[in-house]
Structures are given as C-alpha cells and as structure tokens.
Amino acid sequence: MRIALFATCIVDAMYPRTAQATVSILERLGHEVVFPSGQACCGQMHVNSGYLKEAVPVVANHVRAFDTEDYDVAVAPSGSCVASVKHQHPMVARSCGDTALEARAAAVGARTYELSELLVDVLGVTDAGAQLGSYFPHRVTYHPSCHGMRLLRLGDRQARLLRSVQGIELAELPEADQCCGFGGTFSMKNADVSSAMLEDKTANVRSTGAELCTGGDASCLMHIGGGLSRQGSDVTTLHLAEILASTAEAPASVTGDVRVSTGKATR
C-alpha cells in the first residue's frame, strides 16, 4: 500500500522522531511511505481560536498537498489533527463559500487515518510484538487524548496496541478520560484553569509509578511533559508511535536518548 504521511506541524518541527517512528512502523509492514512536501498544518489552531478567515489558506494548502499526491491512504500520528482534517476542513471551506474546496477537503478527509486506526482497522495489526517487533521493557501509563477518544471514537485501539508490545508494563492512569487541559490557545487564554487541569493530570500520572506517559497526540504529551518537567519530575512523555517502533535491537529509551528504527538510513 502507498501511504501518505501527514507529519503534522508540531511533530515536523518539534518531535521529528515521532514521524520517523511512524515511517519505520509502516515500512516494516512492507508499505511504501510518501511525504507530500507541500504539507504544513491542519489549521485547527486557527479554527479553534476563532480565526476562520486565517484558517482558509492553511486548510486549502493541506487539501492541495494531499489531493495532488498519488496514494492509497493518508496517516497522521495525531487524533486531534486527523479529526480536524475530517470534521473541520469541509466546514472551513463552507464558511468561505468555496464548494469545490469543500468537496476536495471531504475526499481527503475520507481517506485520512489516525495511526492506531490505520494499524488496527486497515493494516490488521493485532499484536505489535509479533507483527512489528515492538519491544519496550518499561513501566508506562497511557493518556487517551480527547479528540481521538471523542471525535474519532478510537476506543481501545491505542491501548490494545500498547498492551501487545513485548516487555511493556502498562499501568492504568486514574481518571484517564479527563482532559489534560491543553486545548490549544486555551492553555494561554485561560492559563489558570488549564494549569489546574494539568495539575490533576500530572498528579494522576505520577501516582501510577510509571517511567513515562504515552499517548497518540504530541500536543497533549508536550503539555503533560511540560508540566512534569516544571514540577521537577523524572517522568517523561513519549508518543506511542515511538514505543511501537522500538525493538530489541534498537530500543527507545525513556530519557530522550531515543534510538528508533526507521528505514535503512544506517545498518
């Protein structure tokens, strides 16, 4: 299968390892990964902050990048960005009266998948240890991000994949379904409420005794990790793609010196 990677802006600029890990997983399964070079961002920061007019060129750019490329399905390591592509892009196009863009956006959205959704529903991954060689001998807790859980209805796909990683010890996160308080510009506009939500989330993370907290959205993980860092905690965050890409030969560590396998760059 030819799979187009939507890296998402935050992963592209801040967490390249997450996208590299996504590439690695897909190539290991024998698929060809392409990276439409015109891509930038899904535009949900603009939409969710009320700047619909400013979101239009961002959305148009994404649609252009992804409907000119030849591929079977598109994937992004983010529930939130995929939800934006699927649900917000047609709405943004409609808001500016561009019916052609609306139709193209809907077509791109229809074949865009969140990573765990693609792995489980399309590529048939049920056992990450056996099928991907995933190996991660650490105590981990998992935060299911709101948009993956409530907008995409990912259910337990991410948790099932994590549980099937060799060597992993998954500690259940209390109040896991509660928002971490990120919410894009909410974290700045309503910084006090956002911080109060984060405080409870990080306390729950620390209570599990896990070495790290994983999840499917780099933005939420940046938020939770940023809070843990400020609190002086040793607990870190790591995207689930990096855990799935970690193998016994090239293990990812929890402390940042992460060595994941991707393609053939070195041998």
Q: Which of residues 217-256 bind other proteins (CB under 8 A)?
A: 222-223, 225-227, 229-230, 247, 249-250, 256
Query: Binding of other proteins at residue 197 (CB under 8 A)?
Result: yes
The widest CA-to-CA distance across the chain, in whole angstroms, is 53
> 94 to 123, contacts with other proteins by CB under 8 A?
95
In the sheet with 212-215, reading across from the earlier edge strand, the strands are 169-171, 139-142, 212-215, 236-239
Q: Which is nearer to other proteins, 169 or 217 (CB)?
A: 217
How far apart CA 22 and CA 240 sit, in angstroms, is: 9
Instruction: Using alpha carbons, select from 204, 190, 132 the residue that is nearest to residue 164.
Output: 132
Q: Beta partners for 32? A: 2
Site string for other proteins, 136-175 (x = CB under 8 A): ----------xx--xx------------------------
Choice between 166 and 190, CB closer to other proteins: 190
- Using CA atoms, how far apart are residues 31 and 36, in angstroms rounded to an integer? 16
Using the rule CB under 8 A, which residue among 23, 118, 162, 244 binds other proteins? 23
Among 3, 4, 6, 19, binds other proteins (CB under 8 A): 19
Query: Residue 124 CA to chain centroid, in angstroms?
Result: 19
Residue 126 or 233: the one with the smaller Cβ distance to other proteins is: 233
Binding mask 35-74 for other proteins (x = CB under 8 A): xxxxxxx-x-xxxxxxxxxxx-xx-xx---x---------
Token reading at 232: 């002086």
